[in-house]
């Protein structure tokens, strides 16, 4: 099992980008949970805040508007 302290900030950021940069996107519940978790773990990191601004939603699915 991976403990939170084993995940670096860079790895968590890359994982977040990968989850959002997919054809299916994330459901609203998944997106809100991911956003809350990442904000708690990383905080006000500029790159993360910019990432959230690039997220769009269609039919309740959240995804990156453009490639990361």
Tell me the whole-structure pTM to 2 decimals: 0.82
Q: What is the mean pLDDT of the chain?
A: 88
Looking at residues 23-50, what average pLDDT do you find?
92
Q: Find the range with the poorest average confidence among 34-38, 40-44, 64-68.
A: 64-68
Cβ proximity of 51 and 9 under 8 Å: no
**Beta-ladder partners of 62:** 26, 57
- DSSP at 26: E
Whether residue 66 has pLDDT greater than 80: no
pLDDT of 25 reads 94
């Amino acid at each position: 099992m991976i403990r939170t302290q084993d995940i670096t900030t860079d790895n968590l950021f890359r994982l977040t980008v990968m989850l959002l940069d997919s054809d299916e996107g994330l459901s609203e519940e998944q997106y809100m949970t991911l956003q809350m978790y990442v904000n708690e773990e990383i905080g006000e990191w500029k790159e993360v805040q910019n990432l959230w601004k690039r997220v769009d939603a269609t039919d309740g699915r959240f995804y990156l508007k453009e490639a990361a």
